Amino acid sequence: MNINELELNRGFFQFTLPYRWQYWIGWVFGVVLILAGVVSPILSLIGLLLVGLCSPGSLEADLHKVRSAAPQPEDLEKEALEKGYSIDSWWMGRTSYTPTADPSDWILTAPGPTTWNENQYLPHGDGTPLPEHPYNVGTPRPATLSTYGIMMTLFVIGVCIATFYGVENSTPEENLSFLPYVALGIGVIWTLIGYFQYKMQRQMADTPTSLVRSVAVGNPELVGQVRPSKSGVLRVVVDGHPNRVIPNCVQFNWVYEVKIRETTTDSEGKKQTREYWKTIRQDNGGVPFILNDGTGGILVDPTSFKRLDMGQYLKRWESNHADSLTKELGMEFASRLFTGGDIIKHRWTVYALRIGNPVYVLGTTRSRPQEELQNEGLDGTLQNTLLEVVGEDAPGIKATLQRGTELANIGRMRSSFEVMLIPLCLTLGGLILTLMNL
């Protein structure tokens, strides 16, 4: 599939199907539960929820096809991490996994390092915007209603009916009068989450994208490719282990967690076992990088952004044991002392923004000190060298930095109706049922 063949304005309705096998399993199982609703309506509600959650956005599947068909430059592929699942040690239970599909990656072919200028502030090639820049592809518009919207609308209606029926037909011993409050609480939380998603989506879709070569002091939206600045790049050693290294990073965040299994005994002598992940250590950091959109490059300070989204994790390592016997014994002792449980798994997860990645920035441009320009050997001939982008908010604008282009980020989003009105319907339904129950 070619991007020119893709209709980015999806109109009112788009029927969507999963494009990953994991979601296909959940989608098919959800359909089976919906059909099983003739036996138990509750199964249908679970099925509707499962099918809805496993259905992608109206543009997501088609953009995935375009991404798969667009080959990446060899020099970027050589820099990439090995994709997929690997077993580092069968006896020790050590494995690693790098996601094979990255929804925040380039959709169209991106220029590789061998084509970059030595001076990253200069225009790339003939100075035209990169192929995936909104200047070339425009701004996508998700369908008002998709498979997700239909399933979740039916789910909300079903929940309200089931709640009303449960309260009306419950016996004094059952006392199901709390159900309307549960529906109302879930609706409020869901609506708040949807509201913030809606605000971010509208901000991204409605803000015109500036070109680096003509950017001025203010609050521009910029889309481009991460390239190294004079500050260099980071070689991230996750939790200090030489076998967990991520090169060429400009921003990172890693987390070390352990899975704890606890067994408790209640007052009746019944044993209950629960498992949960607990964060032990984490670290983050970054260095300034240059965002080049094809028309030129501008300096960006990622550490100044409060809202920073690096997409899904870059790599994850799991092991049945800690890195050393000393750490293993120390962790086990601490676990038993503070939680009373046993450690059954160790996990290290790293998120990163790396050289060559696509990046979306909405921030504040400000003048750079003359000392910085002199230290970099810049004479100020290019306007874009005189400015830098930082994560300062402005009235009505929330500064954000996200891995992925505008096309990739909006392509994963759902319509305003699906993120706002559907949860609002559950909130209103829960409120009406609560008032009826008073």
Q: What is the pLDDT of residues 220-241, one digit of tens each?
A: 999 999 999 999 999 999 999 9
Please check the confidence at residue 79 and state whether its pLDDT lies above 80.
Answer: no
Q: What is the pLDDT of residue 292?
A: 97
| Nearest-angstrom CA–CA distance, 284 and 379 | 33
User: Rounded mean pLDDT of the chain?
Assistant: 88
| Nearest-angstrom CA–CA distance, 389 and 401 | 10
The domain segmentation of the chain, as residue ranges, is: 3-17+55-437
Task: Over range 131-140, report the average pLDDT.
Answer: 90
- Tell me 417's DSSP state: I
Q: What is the pLDDT of residue 365?
A: 96
**Number of alpha carbons in the 13 Å side-chain half-sphere of residue 365:** 23
pLDDT (tens digit, 9 = 90+) per residue, 249-266?
999 999 999 999 888 777
50-64, 66-80, 260-274, 399-413: which range is least confident on average?
Answer: 66-80
Give residue 159's pLDDT band: very low, low, confident or very high (50, 70, 90): very high
Task: Over range 322-337, report the average pLDDT.
Answer: 58
**Number of alpha carbons in the 13 Å side-chain half-sphere of residue 253:** 9
pLDDT (tens digit, 9 = 90+) per residue, 81-93?
777 777 776 666 7
pLDDT (tens digit, 9 = 90+) per residue, 400-415?
999 999 999 888 889 9
Task: Over range 326-330, report the average pLDDT.
Answer: 57
pLDDT (tens digit, 9 = 90+) per residue, 31-46?
999 999 888 889 999 9
Q: What is the pLDDT of residue 340?
A: 60
H/E element, 413:
none
SS3 43: helix
71-75, 104-108, 282-286, 319-323: which range is least confident on average?
Answer: 71-75
Give residue 332's pLDDT band: very low, low, confident or very high (50, 70, 90): low
Q: What is the pLDDT of residue 143?
A: 93
**Number of alpha carbons in the 13 Å side-chain half-sphere of residue 259:** 12
Q: What is the pLDDT of residue 288?
A: 96
Residues 409-425: b if buried by 16+ CB within 10 A, e if exposed: bbbbbbbbbbbbbbbbb
Q: What is the pLDDT of residue 274?
A: 85
Task: Over range 168-187, report the average pLDDT.
Answer: 86
Q: If you search the block for the tokens 């092991």, which residue do you land on?
A: 319
pLDDT (tens digit, 9 = 90+) per residue, 341-363?
788 899 999 999 999 999 999 99
Please check the confidence at residue 270 and state whether its pLDDT lies above 90.
Answer: no
Alpha helices in 349-389 (DSSP H): 370-375
Q: What is the pTM of this model?
A: 0.86
